[in-house]
Structure 1
Amino acid sequence: MRMLSETCRALLERSKRFGPLYGDRLANHLPMTLIALDRMGAPAGHMERAYEANARQLRLRDGDIGPVTDAADWLGKGRNAGGLELYFRACAGRDGLDAVLRAWVPRLLPGVAASAFHCLIRLAYAIDAGEQDEACAALAYWVMEYVSLDLPDDTVNEAPAAIAARLARAVAGHAPWSGIIIDRMRQAAAHPGVAGTALQPSGLDLRQVAQFALGAYHAREDFTLLHTVTACHAFRLLLPYAGQPQRALRYLWEAVVVATLTVEASGAASPAAAAHLDWKECLAHAARATDAHVVKLCWSAYCEDLVDRDPRYLAIAARKLAM
């Protein structure tokens, strides 16, 4: 694990004053953006520029709710980020972060979709960076925003793409989805054509889920689909703490496939990719970006390509940079 630069660590320290959400429950991407930029070799000046561009929209972390004696009491309550963070810092100081992760990640993975996958992603980045305080902040965020889709775990002998197509037909003509990504996902999961339906492939591995997410996003530039790609990368980083990897993977799959159901059908073609870039050029461009989703998508695509060697990862990164 490569250590973070001094600039990145200093900016992460400054970012601690901000809460995990802003606006209408939108995710604070600042810590994830800083870590991804650092991993891509961004110079100090570019990281500071990204900090300023992203920090101006954030709001300060709450600090006036009482202390936490058991984080489970705050699952899904949507508040007390400050108290929960102090709780996890105390647990990590007493038992070690590794023990805390092994206890809490399996408990939280049924809520992998929480805050449009951002709780998962923020924790994965923190672990990869070796930043204990940031990991505790991410755990606090996941607890407060926890929500599960509560779908059946019945299996069916169908490929992921076939299941997705069947579910899409089942929700055709639905009432309009509303709200932010996680709201729309919950509405889709509660649809009669999805709830109570077998949607778990009888054989499933992470490559299948990642390939499904990649294929959907490669075919169509869409904000929701982007998050399924970055979620698969984050999930891979959290697997050592998942407890029962196959069980955890099924939570990821249901969240990814439900996310695709919220993307309205359209005849619009996907935007064309930029002129050909290799990964060195792509990462150099991404390291100068300030848009959090551009930065994170390029970093996740690069990391996933190292595992799967699929040229579509470079294509989606180049396309995002060209937009």
Structure 2
Amino acid sequence: MLTKTALPAPATLAQLHHLLDAGAALAPTYRGRLSNHLPMAQQALLELGASAARLQAWTESYEVHLEPRVAARPGSVTVERDLGRPDSETAWHAHFAARIAEIGAAGTLRKALSLLLPGVGAIAFHGLIRTGHAVLAGHEGELAAGLAHWAAHFLPLPTTADGPPLELADWLPALSKLSRPAYPAGALIHGRMQAWGESPDFAAVAGRLRHGPDALRDLALLAARTYAATGNFTVLHLLTASHAMVVLEPWWPAPQLARGFSVAAAAGLLASGAEPALMLDRPPSRPWPALIAAACEQDDAHVIKLTHAAWRLGRRWPDPAWRRAVERAIPF
């Protein structure tokens, strides 16, 4: 008589919350200005169906790269002085935690997005992305941490309303004609995006993408198709950032503020150096269950987050590009 093999116990929301509570002792950045991906990937693994043992093991293996949070007395923050100041992150964290305690998570998020959406490219979109995962996790402490990461690294990019709006197929060639600014070899994504924002003529082109009801979908698919064709690391962040924008959409204080995302996406595309792809390089060959199972066994937080973002975006906007992008990240 055959005996059934017990399936591994699945990760649970309670386990995730316990891990997020413990992770609050870790710094939001490490090795200078690299974002701590631990809470983002933990939430993604839970939703992708990882086992409790896998979530715990992945956490322990990733934690060794991180640094402890430096104890500091949080001071008060002011927008004029502290927005975009990395050394103010502790103070911003205390500010948003207090706001959540006072008016709740939803009210805090809505007010914070009024302030933060114009600087949505902060620290290579990781403030936005961490906030999106915090919302999905339903964890107030992590929400305060995500918003603080965004505020402390706020990245405003210039834009003007001059010139008629451009369709995506015309906007991309207009971006490609801009002269590349100088930045040091090995510059991080945030620094390259900032350099593009400061370059001549960027402002006159970046904000001219026509913003209809499908603008966010089109930018997300552009990121998926371009990543599928190139495997570009910077473009990967555009896809996960697009997903975070979708997660936060119910709390956008005004749809027009989302225009800041297209400007940041322009800077990200230019910083990537990748050739944008409006068409898919080839159809995907593997089904979602196989891709998701493979993603749960990955050690790379970026691959886990990409799979999670593409899978969720595919449920909202069915398209083969999502699976093809994940296939690029998880080769046979």
Q: Does 1:194 align with 2:202?
A: yes
Name the CA shift for 1:225/1:98 in 2 (closer, same or farther; >3 Å).
Answer: same
- Which of 267, 277, 295 aligns to 1:286? It is 295
Q: Distance in 1 between matches of 2:130 and 2:153?
A: 13
Match for residue 269 of structure 1? Answer: none
- Which of 220, 239, 263 aligns to 2:272? It is 263
Match for residue 60 of structure 2? Answer: 52
- Which of 165, 176, 182 aligns to 1:175? It is 182
- Which of 208, 212, 220 aligns to 1:210? It is 220
What per-residue deviation string (whole Å, max 9, x for no partner) do you get for residues 257-297 of structure 1? Answer: 2211122368xxxxx99983211111111122221001000
Q: Does 1:117 align with 2:125?
A: yes
TM-score by length of 1: 0.90
Q: Distance in 2 between matches of 1:70 and 1:290?
A: 39
Match for residue 31 of structure 2? Answer: 23
Q: Give runs of ≥4 in structure 1 deviating > 6 Å.
A: 272-275
TM-score by length of 2: 0.87
One-letter amino acid of the structure 2 residue matched with residue 303 of structure 1:
R
Match for residue 303 of structure 1? Answer: 312
Match for residue 17 of structure 2? Answer: 9
Match for residue 251 of structure 1? Answer: 260
Name the CA shift for 1:296/1:248 in 2 (closer, same or farther; >3 Å).
Answer: same
Partner of 1:96, secondary structure, is helix
Q: Distance in 2 between matches of 1:129 and 1:156?
A: 40
What per-residue deviation string (whole Å, max 9, x for no partner) do you get for residues 159-217 of structure 1? Answer: 22321222212225x53565210110111122214233464223432222222222322
- The 8 Å contact of residues 183 and 192 in structure 2, kept in 1 or not, is answered as no
Q: Does 1:234 align with 2:262?
A: no
Equivalent pairs: percent with the same residue?
Answer: 29
Q: What's the offset of the Cα at 1:72?
A: 6.0
Q: Does 1:95 align with 2:100?
A: no
Match for residue 150 of structure 1? Answer: 158
One-letter amino acid of the structure 1 residue matched with residue 35 of structure 2:
A
Partner of 2:299, secondary structure, is coil
- Which of 58, 67, 71 aligns to 2:75? It is 67
How many corresponding residue pairs?
314
The 10-residue stretch of structure 1 (106-115 or 186-195) with the greater mean CA deviation from structure 2: 186-195
- Which of 21, 27, 41 aligns to 2:49? It is 41
Match for residue 136 of structure 2? Answer: 128
The 10-residue stretch of structure 1 (61-70 or 20-29) with the greater mean CA deviation from structure 2: 61-70
Q: What's the offset of the Cα at 1:253?
A: 0.8
One-letter amino acid of the structure 1 residue matched with residue 160 of structure 2:
P
Name the CA shift for 1:314/1:202 in 2 (closer, same or farther; >3 Å).
Answer: closer
Question: Unaligned regions of 5+ residues in structure 1, if any?
Answer: 267-271
- The 8 Å contact of residues 155 and 202 in structure 1, kept in 2 or not, is answered as no
Q: Distance in 2 between matches of 1:120 and 1:169?
A: 28
Match for residue 7 of structure 2? Answer: none
CA RMSD after TM alignment: 2.3
What per-residue deviation string (whole Å, max 9, x for no partner) do you get for residues 126-173 of structure 1? Answer: 11111111001111111111121122244534222321222212225x
One-letter amino acid of the structure 2 residue matched with residue 291 of structure 1:
D
What per-residue deviation string (whole Å, max 9, x for no partner) do you get for residues 297-316 of structure 1? Answer: 00000011111111011011
